[in-house]
Structure 1
Amino acid sequence: MNMDTAKLIKAAVPEAEGRNARILSQNVSDHKDPNFLSQDFPRQPPRLYITAESDDFDAVTIAEWQAEGFDVQYLPMGNGGDEYLKKLKGLKGNETTTFETFGIVAYGDAAAMCLQHYHIMDNNPDFKIKLLIAYYPTAIPDPKGRFPNNISALVHLIGGEDVDVTVQSQMVGIQGKRRTSRRTIQPGMGTGGLLRLAYPSYTYQAQPGFAEHDLDEYDAISADLAWSRSLAAARRAFGLTVDLEYVWEQNVQGKFLSRSLDTTMSSYTTHKSPHVTYIPTLTGGIGADELEEFYSQYFGNPKSLKLTLVSRTIGADRIVDEIHVRFKHTQEMPWILPGVPATQKRVQILVVSIVTMRGGKLYHEHVYWDQASVLLQIGALDPNAIPESAKKLGIEKLPVVGSAAASRVLKGWDPEQEGEADNDLIPGWNDEGEGGDEAGNGLDGQSLNGKAAGQKSAEKSETDQGN
């Protein structure tokens, strides 16, 4: 279609006739940015290279990246050195796309070489590499030196391990002398602790190889944590969005509302063996067959069951729900009260559900709640009935609460009470004085009776000075 720009301007702005004019776009987009197209526009999957020392690699990891929508190719490191660097320089993105960008997920010595190579600006002249994820590299670049801003970098390190740290100029066109030193990676705060480096880095209490399913060093907890972080980094780098909430809502609808077994089972992954565990009772199922049996025969719920979503947190591959659940116990409910006949009691509790996804489907679900509160509400637990063994420990009443915990959270904070907590179970909290625990359980290591303890300390100090 031909467009007469002059006539268009004259019709829109008559007073502009005879004057120079130019058309400015209000939505300024860079066509070189792969995100300038709408999310619904047909795209080829982004290219992802996995690279390590061996000639082949963990098939499970490759399949998981493919299931998340990436075009995966494996690049063996070979003998390393200049030959490997030449391979890195020859990498290309998906040639069927307009934007030939790509990402790298590297392991061990290959990770060390990739980190060092792409830390230098000159080594990504065409801005083709957008993502670099390194698992347990044997060497890392300057902890104070950032990666070029066109590269999203993420490093998974082993706590307590020694690595080579190389410092070299990052300036364009300047290849300064390398200075290498040997340092120990601090363990951080438990598995998956965040390190304070210039580039995103986490440390794990595991062994090199913890993320490879076919190795003896594989560690499921560390691998899952690292996977979640890696997947989030990859999606950010390539501007990918995945609607995890839809398939989770489908699962909830099938289990609790429509009570449709087909709807429920269709939400689980077939890529891996799914499992569901209701933690307080250890009920649920492992694998599709067990889950189908469990939900078809052992997941009955009374019509009075009502769910209220209190909060929802969505990550790259996880959804965490905080749910208010209430019901009248008019029938057996094997998932929450297995082996307990109907008591006709009303129950309300808070349930936390942590769902993990793989390839856009449910992989596993862990469900938590306060079982002592449930037993208290149905009359199966008496907080005042203390066994002799507990009395010998000085326990006068079981520290459990009933429906109050769930009802207060559902109603929200009471401005007069400034929150849901009332500390009624803490001895001395509601006494008129400054009562507390003389054993000293506060954060300061002193008595919980803060003011009284401070006064005693001050009095003792004055006495010492007087002496």
Structure 2
Amino acid sequence: MPNRGNGNVGIISSNLGPNHNDPGFLSSDFPHSAPKLYITAESDEFDLVTLSEWKDEGFNVEYIPMGDGGNEYRMKLESLSRTNLGPCETYGIIAYGDAASFCLEHFHILDNNPEFKLCCLIAYYPTRIPDTRTKFPGGIHVLVHLTTGEEVGIVKQTQMVGIQGKKRTVNRKIDRGIGAGGTMQVSYPSYTYNAVPGFAEHDLDEFDRVSAELSWSRSLATARRAFRRDVDLEKVLEQNIERAIGSEELQRFYSEFFIDKNPQSIKLTLLSRTIGSDRVVDELHVAFKHTQDMPWILPGVPSTNKKVEILVVSIVTLRGGKLYHEHIYWDQASVLVQVGLLDPKAVPRNASDSGVKRLPVIGRRAARSVLVGYDESDEGEATNELIPEWDDEADDDVGSTAGEGDKRNDAKTKETEEDENKKKKRDGLEKEEPEQSTPSQEKHEDAKVDGD
């Protein structure tokens, strides 16, 4: 590099294209060994759960204790590129604490990854990080997990080819305001967590599940990207659900309370799907007639023979190719209204108001409002009128009265129902049975609700 007056060299951009050491250089049909992953920390032994989780994801895992962190540790790091690696194989490092600081500084130097064998470096709660304005050399995929409220040293070092100058360290405190797993605006990917060092190690008192799972998803994505190991998570998910493969509780839930506990009338429509490194998020429209016990949604409730339509959000996490946990969310108030177990006109009179308040729940129209946007060219039906002040502003804008608005809504509802009946007759379908509602429900069947 030409001398610009201060002799400093920093990598501000880099070409991450493939070379002969990249796993993607060879055909996918070429036999590959499991990607080599070294995990390193200060102690002689490390969290067995973490080691097992990486092994379950298909990595060849080996633990390296840092020891005193001197020349012996440095020589060990430098020897990794020559240990049991083929000509087209690479390796990754996941480091914790002081070992993370050591590895970040070591591999930030231009000459310390000469054969481009290190493809991935993931650091958990280091106490020092390299100059945040410069990237890492050699196409290394770097990820740093930091904890808020802790002080971290930012190391700046003069670099020239073959020569490393003096280090200068500036201490900075990580802002607590960005401690919810947020990104930091630096030249290499970094995230902050509202936790303390040790949050990702299951065998420590500092272990924090929320921060650990967030960081795990990001680390797994980085490692797969570095080794070019794509996983068809959709296919894995479908296989798991069909065979009920997973943890003991999930397996029991699917086999005993879900798969064979749904009526034949149930219909699931997938509206959207978001896929991450280890989880799949689905948005679904679910419709069924409650003709049998359904313990997963109406536990302990005998069949009511009522029709139900709801929106469901499912978040499924997979570990090692198996179901790890699943979170499912839906509007249970809407379900209870539709089966006749909840009267939406149940709020008592207000002493200062002669009218009767209404619960902001209605039933199947809450789910159908989303489907409208998928069947038609519009964007679906809004439910803003559940906000008491919403109609007041709309009436001021269009110069209409509430009564006129009600008439328009009633006409629209009637017109929609007539169109649906005509379509069913035309298609030779049976006319849908009317909902068996209480009088108070019938009066308010045209209201709308936001899904919680």
TM over 0.5: yes
CA displacement at 1:380 relative to structure 2 = 1.5
CA displacement at 1:218 relative to structure 2 = 0.8
| CA 369–109 in structure 1, closer or farther in 2 if over 3 Å, else same | same
Show the counterpart of 1:203.
Answer: 192
Give the Cα separation in 1 of the matches to 2:164 and 2:61.
32
Q: CA RMSD in A?
A: 2.6
CA displacement at 1:173 relative to structure 2 = 3.1
Q: 2:76 aligned to 84, 87, 95, which one?
A: 87
5+ long unaligned stretches in structure 1: 1-27, 255-262, 277-287, 436-467
TM-score by length of 1: 0.75
Show the counterpart of 1:403.
Answer: 364
CA displacement at 1:408 relative to structure 2 = 2.5
5+ long unaligned stretches in structure 2: 1-16, 399-452
| CA 174–405 in structure 1, closer or farther in 2 if over 3 Å, else same | farther
Q: 1:426 is aligned with what amino acid?
A: I
Show the counterpart of 1:260.
Answer: none
- Asked if structure 2 preserves the Cα contact closer than 8 Å seen for 1:274 and 1:364, the reply is no
The answer to which of 181-190 and 426-435 deviates more is 426-435
- Asked if structure 1 preserves the Cα contact closer than 8 Å seen for 2:317 and 2:324, the reply is yes
Q: Does 1:433 align with 2:396?
A: yes
TM-score by length of 2: 0.78
Give the Cα separation in 2 of the matches to 1:73 and 1:126.
21
The higher relative CO (CA closer than 8 Å, separation ≥ 6) is in 2
Give the Cα separation in 2 of the matches to 1:300 and 1:289.
12
Q: 1:222 aligned to 206, 211, 233, which one?
A: 211
Q: Does 1:243 align with 2:243?
A: no
- Asked if structure 2 preserves the Cα contact closer than 8 Å seen for 1:122 and 1:172, the reply is yes
- Asked if structure 2 preserves the Cα contact closer than 8 Å seen for 1:93 and 1:101, the reply is no
Give the Cα separation in 2 of the matches to 1:421 and 1:347.
20
Show the counterpart of 1:331.
Answer: 292
Give the Cα separation in 1 of the matches to 2:206 and 2:128.
20
- Asked if structure 2 preserves the Cα contact closer than 8 Å seen for 1:348 and 1:406, the reply is yes
Give the Cα separation in 2 of the matches to 1:81 and 1:215.
26
The answer to which of 166-175 and 197-206 deviates more is 166-175
Correspondence 1:23-34 to 2 at 5 A: 30-34=19-23
Q: 2:337 aligned to 376, 397, 416, which one?
A: 376
Q: 2:297 is aligned with what amino acid?
A: I
Give the Cα separation in 2 of the matches to 1:221 and 1:415.
40
Show the counterpart of 1:111.
Answer: 100
Q: Does 1:98 align with 2:87?
A: yes
| CA 103–85 in structure 1, closer or farther in 2 if over 3 Å, else same | same
Q: 1:124 is aligned with what amino acid?
A: N
Q: 1:129 aligned to 103, 118, 121, which one?
A: 118
Give the Cα separation in 1 of the matches to 2:136 and 2:351.
58
1:90-148 Cα distance to aligned partner (Å, 9 max, x none): 11366263324110000000000101111111111111110000000011111111112
Give the Cα separation in 1 of the matches to 2:356 and 2:317.
39
The answer to which of 186-195 and 302-311 deviates more is 186-195
Q: 2:207 is aligned with what amino acid?
A: Y
Correspondence 1:39-438 to 2 at 5 A: 39-92=28-81, 95=84, 97-252=86-241, 254=242, 263-264=243-244, 267-268=245-246, 273-276=247-250, 288=251, 292-294=255-257, 300-387=261-348, 396-412=357-373, 418-431=379-392, 432-433=395-396
| CA 95–83 in structure 1, closer or farther in 2 if over 3 Å, else same | closer
CA displacement at 1:397 relative to structure 2 = 1.7
What is the number of equivalent residue pairs in this alignment? 379
Give the Cα separation in 2 of the matches to 1:434 and 1:195.
44
SS at match of 1:209: coil
Give the Cα separation in 2 of the matches to 1:390 and 1:198.
61
CA displacement at 1:151 relative to structure 2 = 0.3
Give the Cα separation in 1 of the matches to 2:248 and 2:356.
42
1:317-367 Cα distance to aligned partner (Å, 9 max, x none): 101111111000111111101111111111111111111111111111111
CA displacement at 1:168 relative to structure 2 = 1.3
1:252-273 Cα distance to aligned partner (Å, 9 max, x none): 4x3xxxxxxxx22xx22xxxx4
- Asked if structure 1 preserves the Cα contact closer than 8 Å seen for 2:108 and 2:130, the reply is yes
Give the Cα separation in 2 of the matches to 1:245 and 1:208.
34
- Asked if structure 2 preserves the Cα contact closer than 8 Å seen for 1:188 and 1:195, the reply is no
Give the Cα separation in 2 of the matches to 1:387 and 1:93.
77
Give the Cα separation in 2 of the matches to 1:219 and 1:351.
28
Q: 1:179 is aligned with what amino acid?
A: R
- Asked if structure 2 preserves the Cα contact closer than 8 Å seen for 1:119 and 1:170, the reply is no
CA displacement at 1:42 relative to structure 2 = 2.0
Give the Cα separation in 2 of the matches to 1:415 and 1:302.
29
